[in-house]
A and B are shown apart, each in its own frame.
Chain A
Amino acid sequence: MKRRWPWMLVGLLPLQALALSGEEVMKKSQAAFLYPGKDFKARVVMKLISKDGQQRVRELTLLRKNAGEPGGDQKYFMYFFQPADVKDMAFMIHKYPAKDDDRWLFIPAINMVKRIAAQDKRSSFVGSDFTYEDVSGRDLEDDNHLIEREEKVGNRDCYVLKSTPKAGDADFAHKVTWVDKGSFLPLREEQYDKKGVRYKLFTADEVADIKGFPTVIKRTMKNLQTGHRTEVAYLKTDYDLGLEDNLFSERFLRQPPRKWID
């Protein structure tokens, strides 16, 4: 028996070298989910649905531009159509992977552009079940990522990763993500609270190929404790439009260029 060990190790080596680490899978997943294309545009319709079925709609145009490689700086621009009390409101984020974002808000009622504090990434995004972090990504360095197993979601083969925050100040204990082995898109994610109870569930409900980029065009985030959920649909999704850098500036916050926000 002892003699067989070295041979078994040799047999395993090539596999170990080929397999991706949890960190690498998450990095590829973030690139596929949050960074595809040089830039991106979508009309986003969010439905906030309470446990008893009451529905509220948030509708906005989302623009994104990458500064460079996946994992690098990004600029986001959001222009709101609905509900009426936030119509014409615009929101801009300059996102940096290793430090807090810069965020600006244009308040049309008093025609004012205001910088807003952004250190709490777990705040709800426009009242939905998505947090800012869910929308624009959590820093990969903040968690340890381990591949736990492989499993199918529908007919897609997935890595199942467990991500555990390195610091104790996160408001969740860990999350489990099903990452498509082909597209690297997250197809399902469960967040667990500190008591080990699953409390949030993300599902990618429809994936479409847009200009060669697999894109989650329908997604749901459900709060399993309150029964509240948010369904998001991307309409008019497009990539590589040639968005200029100066679009993400105070000038266009105050007066968004119509050709990009239809």
Chain B
Amino acid sequence: MRFIRPIAACLFGLVAMAPTGAPAELTLSGFLQQNTAFNTVAANPDGRRHKWLEERAQLKLDATGGAWRALVKGDIAYDHLGRQDETELREGYVDYAAGNWELRVGRQVITWGLGDLVFVNDVFPKDHQALFAGRPLEYLKRGVDALKFGAYPEFASFELVVAPGFRESRIPDAGRFWLYDPMPAVANRETVKPGQGDVGLRVYRDIAGYDATLYLYSGVQRTPSMRPDSMAAPTKITYFYPRLSVYGASLSGRAGEGVLSLEAAYYDSRQDRSGGDFSIPNSQTRLLAGYQIQPAADLSLGFQYYVEYLYQYAAYRAALPAGFPVEKQWNPTVTLRMTQMLMHQTLRLSVYALHSLGNGDDFINPEIRYSFTDRLSGAAGANFFGGKPWGQFGQLSQDDNAYLQLRYEF
């Protein structure tokens, strides 16, 4: 709720500024949804048998008048596992569009970069739990409360994002997911959220038929680091969000028969450039190469090769306490996505598979999706995890689940 009030104030302020008498067009839409995910291997750490079980309604109100637009997208959900907020403002913003610039103020979803479930320059908040618990893809992204200024002169396009406050990514909940914990005996835990916001700039243009983009970001990590009060006899763990800057670039365009995507970013871990603090991730370079082709009608294939390179590796190894899992300096990952549309694109079969060549982690998500009518659609799928007990996906190997989504749109 604490996010909603300032946004509402912004919305009303901007709407009040809108010229009166401009013809406004109002549309109301939304959906009702049932979403269930069953565990297929083990019960949750808290003993429940579902990863997700909820009914949800979304209302979307879209108002347009001249150069102005306001959008509010809000959810109300009943969560049978009882651990979720029951209301959520998904998005709520006001737009003003001028000839070659525009402004968006409020809660908005921002996605940067080219990766498919691999994030190089997409520094904006995500909901990783949603992805692993079989929720619809749109719940992977969380909105940020920000001002976005777009400028579109002839030579390039600019998008500046300024967020006065911090919004974190949602990581899997320890009651629902079996997560690796190097200090399971310490019960006293505290999270310190950064008081600062963040700022990002994206600049893009066409270069010889390729979409070329530069990304600059200054803010904090979206997922927390943990620091014990003592290594020898820890009594308390503090979760905190280290400062981070990201400098990146991407290129995408046609190559041969398909679409080639190249993306790179340097993660400047400003709070631990020397690499001597084991609780803060070291600086990194992330590289991604993706290729998508369409070998037959209504069939598409996407391949990605992604690698993370860790700087100050010797300092990292020296600072890492005994017993903590060791990350490799080079950590490559490959992914494959295959999508086949059938029956006039009302039936979609897809599979996404990820394999880490660095630590052997696996993540596989097969899904079948069908539109019964233009309004009623359903999906059935599964999430399979595997690998080392401390790997990003390996730690979830007890959390395999099968899910169902049923949605009525209006």
Contact = CB atoms under 8 A, between A and B. Distances in A.
Interface in A118-165: 118-120, 122-124, 126-128, 131
A109 B137 contact: yes
Given A115-B211, A115-B252, A246 B374 contact: no
Contacts of A246: 152
Given A48-B344, A85-B409, A117 B300 contact: yes
B293 A119 contact: yes
Contact of A123 (B25, B64, B111, B294): B294
Given A109-B138, A250-B157, A258-B64, A120 B296 contact: yes
A112 B292 contact: no
A211 interface: no
Given A83-B375, A85-B377, A124-B344, A110 B140 contact: yes
A84 B31 contact: yes
9 cross-chain pairs, A with B, having the tightest CB-CB distances, nearest first: A127-B345, A84-B409, A109-B138, A83-B374, A127-B344, A111-B109, A112-B111, A117-B294, A120-B294
Interface in A228-248: 228, 246
Nearest to A50: B344
A119 B97 contact: no
Interface string B337-354: 000010011100000000
Given A82-B374, A124-B297, A251-B152, 10 more contacts: A56-B371, A83-B371, A83-B409, A87-B29, A110-B109, A112-B111, A116-B292, A119-B293, A127-B345, A249-B152
Interface string B66-102: 0001000000000000000000000000010100001
Interface of B: 25, 29, 31, 64, 69, 95, 97, 102, 108-111, 114, 136-138, 140-141, 150, 152, 157, 204, 209, 211, 252-254, 257-259, 261, 292-298, 300, 341, 344-346, 371, 373-375, 377, 407, 409-410
B356 to A, nearest CB: 23
Interface string A76-114: 000000111101000000000000101000000111101
Contacts of B25: 258
Contacts of A131: 297
- Chain A interface residue count: which class? 35 or more
Residue of A100, A117, A122 ringed by the most chain B CB atoms within 10 A: A117
A115 B297 contact: no
B124 to A, nearest CB: 9
B121 to A, nearest CB: 12
Contacts of A57: 374
Interface string A58-88: 0000000000000000000000001111010
B120 to A, nearest CB: 14
A255 interface: yes
A97 to B, nearest CB: 15
Nearest to A128: B344
A240 to B, nearest CB: 21
Given A109-B137, A127-B345, A56 B373 contact: yes
Contacts of A109: 136-138
15 contacts: A48-B344, A85-B407, A102-B254, A110-B111, A111-B108, A111-B110, A111-B111, A112-B111, A116-B292, A119-B294, A120-B295, A120-B297, A124-B341, A249-B157, A257-B97
Nearest to B301: A117
Contact of B371 (A85, A123, A126, A255): A85
A127 B111 contact: no
A85 B209 CA distance: 31
A139 B69 CA distance: 41
A251 B209 contact: no
- Which label, helix, strand, loop or mixed, suits the secondary structure of the A interface? mixed
B258 A119 contact: yes
A186 to B, nearest CB: 22
A117 B301 CA distance: 9
A118 B294 contact: yes
A1 to B, nearest CB: 57
Given A110-B138, A111-B109, A117 B409 contact: no
A189 to B, nearest CB: 19
A84 B344 contact: no
A82 B410 CA distance: 11
Given A83-B375, A250-B157, A255-B102, A228 B294 contact: no
Nearest to B298: A123
A251 B137 contact: no
Given A84-B409, A115-B252, A117-B258, A124 B157 contact: no
Nearest to B104: A255
B149 to A, nearest CB: 13
B64 A110 contact: no
B213 to A, nearest CB: 10
Contacts of A258: 25, 64, 69
A250 B102 CA distance: 13
A250 B136 CA distance: 25
A117 B141 contact: no
B258 A250 contact: no
A42 B296 CA distance: 30
B257 A119 contact: yes
Contacts of B252: 115
B101 to A, nearest CB: 10
A216 B377 CA distance: 33
Contact of B141 (A84, A111, A127, A251): A111
B259 A115 contact: yes
A255 B341 CA distance: 27
A100 B254 contact: yes
Contacts of A119: 257-258, 293-294
Contacts of A112: 111
A104 B29 CA distance: 25
A248 to B, nearest CB: 11
